[in-house]
Structure 1
């Protein structure tokens, strides 16, 4: 899971960005070790019995829609012939749907179309990038349907894959994502994606600016994941408890009201 690819990222995205040189080096690691990238749509289709997975499959995914995906990452993807998946927050992209609030320079729609033409699957990532599990049902439906509608209007094809903003979801959110027409969805979890997780809670591994080439190689080989992401997992588990409590409190307040 990538976010920004930039030489000088904004402060808000610095930790979750990689430099163009690091990204290029990481793509070379995948090529040298015989990995075969595929789209999220392709992985889900194979797991549903529609085609075979390659021997060493890997997903290359980008969240949010930062300009560097087109400006820097695309060159390395094309060099190796790698497909990828970009999950866009439609209200953050530059253009007529811009709602503001993006933490860094975002893609515009011509750039998104160029990425799609180069073999990048375009998926949904909500409209304004909220914490979906904290929204009421009406707001949740708006975020999903507005995102899906805009992508379909701009690209001429409805997106089938989704990624949860901040990686957070709940049973209610996952059910609504399904009902909104998305066929699969990605979380974070910082673990390997496995079929048993189900199509709406597939895990990903976070690549950061501090991720060295050696660490990246160990991660994609499935080694040292526990050590590399131990702190992230502990924080995620603790925050999950807090989030469930917040939602229960908000729900109770609305019920009393």
Structure 2
């Protein structure tokens, strides 16, 4: 049995491969997913104002590890939790913009989640992985954004495993911390409208991941759901005021 086969069996037994269900009504809305922001380096100019807006309204930053503990009944989330995710950091070259954004977030006492495109193994990008380890040591959560940022529903199963399982293994090896979440490129987790691509969730379970992060929906986790849980995010608007309205309306229509 190979190391990957062992990881696959271990994670499947621990998490199960059952798919989460999209919440349909109030009865299914048993756990409210924290409001979650999706940022890219192009949003760096807006970030200080967004952070100020959040602080003024008493939001407290959490990560997916906190959410998992809350689901397991091991902790209580703050009254106004917010997950701040920053996409596309890659060990092949850590753009200074990412580090500047991390510093801005830390300056107000927050931490967040970096979605890592694990495009190089640790042995081939030592400097980049060292920088990622430093971010993890500072309290940042590092989750997989796949190996090469591919559109997952279009891939065959072996390529899905390369994108998801391989990237999770490289992050664990390169940082000493196993990722908890698959942050799907483009939020692409559906084969067709409102129908999950089951393979993505099954391979995420093989990788030992507790969450699959998309964009649409995913505001609530139903009592019947099993990991990996589907959760959603919102992007950044043209300015911080509109972004604030999107944050406040995160659950509307769910």
Tell whether the structures are fold-level matches, with TM greater than 0.5: yes
Kept in 2, the 8 Å contact 1:187–1:203? The answer is: yes
Aligned-pair CA distance for 1:225: 6.5
Is structure 2 residue 203 aligned with structure 1 residue 176? yes
Correspondence list, 1:50-61, <5 A: 50-61=74-85
Please list the CA deviations of residues 14-38 of structure 1 after superposition, one character each: whole Å capped at 9, or x if unmatched: xxx2133x10110111111011110
Q: Distance in 1 between matches of 2:124 and 2:165?
A: 17
Q: Distance in 2 between matches of 1:142 and 1:172?
A: 13
Higher helix share: 1
Aligned residue for 1:108, secondary structure, equals: helix
Aligned-pair CA distance for 1:179: 2.0
Aligned residue for 1:87, secondary structure, equals: strand
Specify which of 83, 106, 109 is matched with residue 78 of structure 1.
106
After TM superposition, the structure 1 stretch with the greater mean CA deviation from structure 2, 65-74 or 89-98, is: 89-98
Structure-2 residue corresponding to 1:128: 148
Judged with a 3 Å threshold, the aligned counterparts in structure 2 of structure 1 residues 192 and 126 are, in CA distance, closer, same or farther, namely closer
Aligned-pair CA distance for 1:150: 1.1
Unaligned runs of 5+ in 2: 1-36, 190-196
Q: Distance in 1 between matches of 2:249 and 2:81?
A: 12
Q: Distance in 1 between matches of 2:160 and 2:66?
A: 27
Structure-1 residue corresponding to 2:43: 18
Unaligned runs of 5+ in 1: 6-16, 99-106, 227-257
Judged with a 3 Å threshold, the aligned counterparts in structure 2 of structure 1 residues 95 and 70 are, in CA distance, closer, same or farther, namely farther
Structure-2 residue corresponding to 1:29: 53
Please list the CA deviations of residues 147-202 of structure 1 after superposition, one character each: whole Å capped at 9, or x if unmatched: 0121111111211222111111112211211122111121111x573223955320
Kept in 2, the 8 Å contact 1:38–1:58? The answer is: yes
Is structure 2 residue 168 aligned with structure 1 residue 141? no
| TM-score w.r.t. length of structure 1 | 0.71
Aligned residue for 1:204, secondary structure, equals: coil
Q: Distance in 2 between matches of 1:225 and 1:214?
A: 17
Aligned length: 203
Q: Distance in 1 between matches of 2:250 and 2:213?
A: 21
Aligned-pair CA distance for 1:224: 10
Is structure 2 residue 207 aligned with structure 1 residue 207? no
Kept in 1, the 8 Å contact 2:165–2:206? The answer is: no
Aligned residue for 2:124, secondary structure, equals: coil
Q: Distance in 2 between matches of 1:216 and 1:77?
A: 16
Q: Distance in 1 between matches of 2:250 and 2:188?
A: 25
Greater length-normalized contact order (CA 8 Å, ≥ 6 residues apart): 2
Structure-1 residue corresponding to 2:119: 91
